[in-house]
Amino acid sequence: DAKTTQPPSMDCAEGRAANLPCNHSTISGNEYVYWYRQIHSQGPQYIIHGLKNNETNEMASLIITEDRKSSTLILPHATLRDTAVYYCIVRPDNKLVFGAGTILRVKS
């Protein structure tokens, strides 16, 4: 399974953009990049996914580098409710393989 590397934690000021990086240098050509987040003791929440092109939805934007070896999740205007563990996942097949994720703390 392709491995992802994320910083263990990040801080962000409320109202500012949160940029969460992820390295996935061993990604294969047909593997999607997924982002989920998990607020304490709740089930993971789907955020966004992509293959090659940048993607945007109502929650976030996903920027994937041209060589697909890294990506960045962007929360454009972080709020206190965005404080959570963010997981970057390279999906090899039917399952999702979760790593340790990044703890994002949004501070007022």
Partner 1 sequence: DAGVTQSPTHLIKTRGQQVTLRCSPKSGHDTVSWYQQALGQGPQFIFQYYEEEERQRGNFPDRFSGHQFPNYSSELNVNALLLGDSALYLCASSLGGPRETQYFGPGTRLLVL
Instruction: List residues binding partner 1 (CB under 8 A).
Output: 34, 36, 41-46, 49, 87, 93-101
Contact 64, 49 (CB under 8 A): no
Minimum CB separation of residue 15 from partner 1 in Å reads: 28
Q: Which is nearer to partner 1, 9 or 46 (CB)?
A: 46
Tell me the backbone φ, ψ of residue 88, rounded to 5 degrees. -100, 125
Minimum CB separation of residue 94 from partner 1 in Å reads: 4
Minimum CB separation of residue 84 from partner 1 in Å reads: 13
